[in-house]
Amino acid sequence: VEREKEIENFIPEKSYSLEIKLKKDSLTILSELYYKNKLYKTKNREELIKFCEEKLLNNLVNLKKVEEKTEKKSPPLPLKTTTLIETSQKILGYEPKQTMYYAQRLYENGYITYMRTDSVRVSDYAQRMAKEFIKLYFGEKFVGRERKIRQSKFVQDAHECIRPTDVFREEVPLSEQEKKLYQLIRTYFIASQMSPAEYLIKTYIFTNKNLGKDYFLKATFKNLLFEGFLKVLKGEKEEKEFIDLKAGEIFEILDWKIKEHITEPPSPYTSSTLIKKLESLGIGRPSTYATLLDILYKRKYVIKEKGYLRPTELGKEVCEYLIKSFPEFLDYKFTSQMEEDLEKVVENKKTYQEIISFNYEILKNYL
């Protein structure tokens, strides 16, 4: 309901930037106008046209500087319940309930580890097996180093990540949907244990006397040097052909275009992004995420519309009534603290009487 209000109250804003096509002999490249290391944007379209006509048209530009650096792209973390649900919905189109059902089947048949987990920890045994697999099929260079991972304060870490019990097992004799989910879990686990991908980034800075001190044209190109984990996790495409230039080269301005930028409202939640939000707030646990969504559907508080969750009128009314009538109980921090307190009862750090007494005192104010 809060997200729906954000979307309804959102006021889009327009701004404009300048794209310039540069030419030297048969080579053409696209650049953009920058000001003090930031893409130059203005809300005044005419101002940008005037700037272009006065400072750039019928002029040459000089390639003043070539900046070169290598950049690493880290592999994904091993899957946990929330990321399994998110990735499964994005790649396979499975709803959270479907994902957890298929994962349960894989777990019961001994093909994956426990699927209700909030941890990305990998056991020593699984790390050794993954290293052996990667070295055998891809070579030593593709074996990733151990990473230090900062986990959320809400993580219980009772179970390790979701991974195949045998990384060498390629297929499982189950339904087509379960096979696809197994392949996704296996692929992501292998990728998570591989080395980063490496790119060469070249940035070209063009200037001329008319532009002045703080304005310049910039073009960036990216070239994949080493695949790393992308060897198994395909999908990343290069946006443009890599071009190698040298400082001092002169280009003419061939053409220009005004680019319009419109700020976007927050996106409505999908099943997986709502679960991710709940996790970030410390609300719910891996064993309850799919059930929470089920309750929202069954009580007709939300409907699914073009893949997004939308609150119904009933959902809005119930939400507004509860917030107005029981503000303390509807506070996100209250729910998160309750989850923590219940964990402390399990760990014998608190008694259930303490928690009940504390909450009863709050409840008395509403009775």
Catalytic residues: 114
290-329 tens-digit pLDDT: 888 889 999 999 998 888 999 999 999 999 998 888 888 8
Instruction: Fill in the amino acid letter for 171.
Output: E
| Rounded CA separation 82/91 (Å) | 14
Exposure letters 100-114 (e unless 16+ CB within 10 A, then b): bbbbebbbeeebbbe
The confidence score (pLDDT) of residue 245 equals 87
The predicted model gives 12-31 an average pLDDT of: 92
pLDDT band at 331 (very low <50, low <70, confident <90, very high): confident
| Rounded CA separation 146/231 (Å) | 19
DSSP 124: H
CATH number of the structural domain 81-192: 1.10.290.10
Nearest residue to 229 (alpha-carbon basis) of 270, 258, 191:
191
Neighbours of 163 (CB within 10 A): 24
The confidence score (pLDDT) of residue 152 equals 63
Query: Domain locations in the chain?
Result: 13-69+197-262, 81-192, 326-367
Report pTM: 0.80
Nearest residue to 192 (alpha-carbon basis) of 72, 79, 106:
79
* Three-state SS at 250: strand
Topology alike, domains 13-69+197-262 and 81-192: no
Strand locations in the chain, DSSP E?
A: 14-24, 27-35, 38-39, 60-73, 197-207, 215-226, 250-262, 302-305, 308-311
Cα within 13 Å of Cα(330), Cβ side:
12
pLDDT above 70 (res 239)? no
71-103 tens-digit pLDDT: 999 999 999 999 999 999 999 999 999 999 999
| Rounded CA separation 366/230 (Å) | 56
| Rounded CA separation 48/258 (Å) | 8
Q: What superfamily in CATH does domain 13-69+197-262 come from?
A: Topoisomerase I, domain 3 (2.70.20.10)
